[in-house]
Structure 1
Amino acid sequence: MGWQFSSTWIVDSPSVRAGDLPVPPFTLLLRAANPPLAFETVNTAQEILIHNYFNVLAISVLLYDHLMTSGNEVDYIWRRPKTQSAYWFFFHRYLAFFGNTVEVILFFTTLSAQVRSSYPLICKQYSLFRQLLLVSTQGLVCVLLTLRIYALYGCSRRVLAFMVGSGAIMAGVSCWVLFGQKIVHAEQESGCHVGLSSDTAIRLAGAWEALFVYDSIIFTLMMAKTWRERHEFSFNRASVPIIYLIFRDGAVYFAVMALANLANIMTFYFSGPFMRGGLSTFASVISVTMMSRLMLNLHETADAGIHSTTLSAFTSSKMYQPIDLSALRSGDVNNPSTFQGQGFGLDGSARVTSISRGFYTSKMTFEI
């Protein structure tokens, strides 16, 4: 059990007899006696290069998202009273930012001759750090997704118990498959590049498959809730488009996360040793980015953050007006007197066009 390093070697290619068909360049190198850990020189270089590209892409996406959403973060998080949701956002967003930045720096760090003498130990520590970072960021995303579903279902304890139970099972599966890994290091001049045996890759794929199952459960619960409420918030016999509700409730964010995880799972089964799990950082960054976007949107629609007890009415002047929840009772939507003096038109009438919910709040959009 635990980490085990195995040495690998490459044998010379056999001579090609006259009259034989031309042998493709990538098949001239024979695999070593240990097939799961053997690799071809050219293929290894290609896999490492592609892996590097995806790591650069991942950190680029993360940095780009930070730059694009920095204004919203300042407006909706920093300048407002700090709530529990805001602290969740800070921890989730900046753990991923600094952690992935350090990971990419270590990944491309040039190793001196003295450092290379202890190369296996260094790469073992790097791999451990990388996996701990992935577990931390993905685990935190799962916690936030669970809170979102919990709020969407009216803080139902049964839903919470189901989600926590499912999460515990998936976490147990993930911990079990993380043991007994066998990796091999590539003799490169820079960075820590490790390859996975086919057996280890299948075991590690199990952890990502558990995460994919959990994401799928969340997406299914989200879609089920969205479908049931498709006509619940429709007034004047006008049905709300399902695609609008999908974007409103954030189901599209969950779908993107699940697809990114699925793409990474495929690499464990269909890629070479040094590209197995090559999309792990990218999939993690996509999950963090989608979760950050969702939380920013929820903070934007809630006047006092996701713990607010007021609704925000969006009028034709593009301004939000807080309406205390206690002012709204069953049937009040069609009662003009309820909204008199609130700026909903001269006759006090208003028409509800949409209702959305944050983690712990709701937002009702009015059109005059």
Structure 2
Amino acid sequence: MEHLSDSQIARQLRISAWLVFSPFTLLCYEYLITLDDEIARYWSAGRSWGSALFFLNRYVALLGSVPVVVEFMLASMNADARRKQLCSAFQSYHSYFALFSQVLVCVIIVTRTYALYGRNRIALTAMVTVVGALVTLAIVILVRGGDDGALSRNLLAIGCPSATSHPQSIRTAIAWSGMLIFDCMIFFMTLWKAVRFSFRGRENSGTLLHVLVRDGSMYFGLMAIANAVNIGTYTMGGPIMSGAVTTGVNILSSVLVSRLMLNIRDPRLPFRSSGSRGGARDLSSTSTHAGAATRTALRGSLSMNMETDIALDSVWVGDGAPADSGADPYVEEYELVEAGLPTNMLRR
């Protein structure tokens, strides 16, 4: 039977709360300092799968984390029956919210990597298979529920957050291991593209492809480390500290994905194409002023500077369009290939 003294319980509850409040504060700060970029790069842009996923990731993390914060504000070592019932509901919400958040991030990353690999169906199949397997595993573990029989009486008396038995912690760690495998898989896929990109002597730091590779490598490297730490808390953290950094991992993944998606809409980012199968072209954003842009549809596929194509079906060129024309200032390849849809279906 797992047992902790009252002083140990009190100390670990404080640490657990700190590991939730601190990431949430970081999330709010990140939202405020990037709100101007969000308004400039997404609010005025046309509707697309990319913008829908961006807003989902951004606001699900921000608003969905509030009940988790409330859960840890209700921490109690001697909860009555009513509070324990309330805390149990919060705990269930926390588990399913963590799963939904990670699935949402996986969807965004799959579309991004699919674009990076030039709509390669083999790469897409591999990623979807891994995501499907880890989601299935996580759902099975969540539905199976926990086992409180191995906890001492003072641990069972805790309200929020509820103590977790070691067998349940191990099962949850197995579920998170699937996410770690996915992160490592995408990290090495992105790293492989970075190496090929470097070997081909194309190191222009201003291209969209460079941004995708740079941000992707950083993101998956950090997330692999964060998930490894999270798994460690489940296996070695004990009944209270088990999964204590889960909220931090969810927030970190959301923040990094938001940054990645904001960066690929940076108006300072030139659109270049060289070394394509159909010859070399160099396209750059000729205007980033509000309203001074008009869409020019380019039929056919232009490619970025890599061995595989990232289709560029639409770019912006300045022609003195009126400021109230409602035109977006730019568009990038990522959104145009994310679902494999033709340009006229993605943007009107």
Task: Using structure 2 for the length normalisation, give the TM-score.
Answer: 0.72
C-alpha contact 1:107 1:192 (8 A) present in aligned 2: yes
Once the two structures are superposed, the pairs formed by residues 179-258 of structure 1 within 5 Å of their partners are 179-183=144-148, 187=157, 192-232=160-200, 234=202, 248=214, 250-258=216-224
Is the alpha carbon distance of 1:125 and 1:107 closer, same or farther for their aligned partners in structure 2, counting shifts above 3 Å? same
C-alpha contact 2:19 2:244 (8 A) present in aligned 1: yes
> Which of 272, 284, 290 does residue 313 from structure 1 map onto?
284
Is the alpha carbon distance of 1:120 and 1:329 closer, same or farther for their aligned partners in structure 2, counting shifts above 3 Å? closer
- The CA RMSD over aligned residues, in Å, is 3.3
Is the alpha carbon distance of 1:120 and 1:262 closer, same or farther for their aligned partners in structure 2, counting shifts above 3 Å? same
> Which of 64, 67, 91 does residue 32 from structure 2 map onto?
67
Give SS of 1:230's match.
helix
Gaps spanning 5+ residues in structure 2: where? 270-280, 304-316, 319-331, 339-348
> Which of 39, 60, 65 does residue 100 from structure 1 map onto?
65
> Which of 125, 136, 139 does residue 103 from structure 2 map onto?
139
Structure ID, larger Rg: 1
Once the two structures are superposed, the pairs formed by residues 14-29 of structure 1 within 5 Å of their partners are none
Note the C-alpha offset of 1:210. 0.7
Residue 270, structure 1, aligned to residue 236, structure 2: yes
Is the alpha carbon distance of 1:216 and 1:103 closer, same or farther for their aligned partners in structure 2, counting shifts above 3 Å? same
Partners of 1:93 and 1:252 in 2: how far apart?
19
Residue 358, structure 1, aligned to residue 326, structure 2: no
Partners of 1:83 and 1:329 in 2: how far apart?
20
Note the C-alpha offset of 1:102. 2.2
C-alpha contact 2:164 2:242 (8 A) present in aligned 1: yes
Give SS of 2:198's match.
coil
C-alpha contact 2:233 2:245 (8 A) present in aligned 1: yes
Q: Count residues with an aligned counterpart.
A: 287
Partners of 1:64 and 1:174 in 2: how far apart?
31
Note the C-alpha offset of 1:59. 0.5
Residue 45, structure 1, aligned to residue 10, structure 2: yes
> What amino acid maps onto 1:41 in structure 2?
D
> After superposition, what is the alpha-carbon deviation per residue over 1:145-175, rounded to whole angstroms, capped at 9, x for unaligned?
0111111111111211111111112222222
> What amino acid maps onto 1:258 in structure 2?
A
C-alpha contact 2:105 2:257 (8 A) present in aligned 1: yes
> After superposition, what is the alpha-carbon deviation per residue over 1:211-244, rounded to whole angstroms, capped at 9, x for unaligned?
111111111111112212224363xxxx668xx6
C-alpha contact 1:231 1:240 (8 A) present in aligned 2: no
Gaps spanning 5+ residues in structure 1: where? 1-33, 304-309, 331-341, 344-355, 363-368
Structure 1 runs (4+) greater than 4 angstroms displaced: 183-188, 244-247, 317-330
Note the C-alpha offset of 1:117. 3.0
Partners of 1:311 and 1:91 in 2: how far apart?
34
Percent identical pairs in the alignment equals 26
> What amino acid maps onto 1:254 in structure 2?
F
Say which structure is richer in helix.
2
Once the two structures are superposed, the pairs formed by residues 111-190 of structure 1 within 5 Å of their partners are 116-178=80-142, 179-183=144-148, 187=157
Say which structure is richer in strand.
1
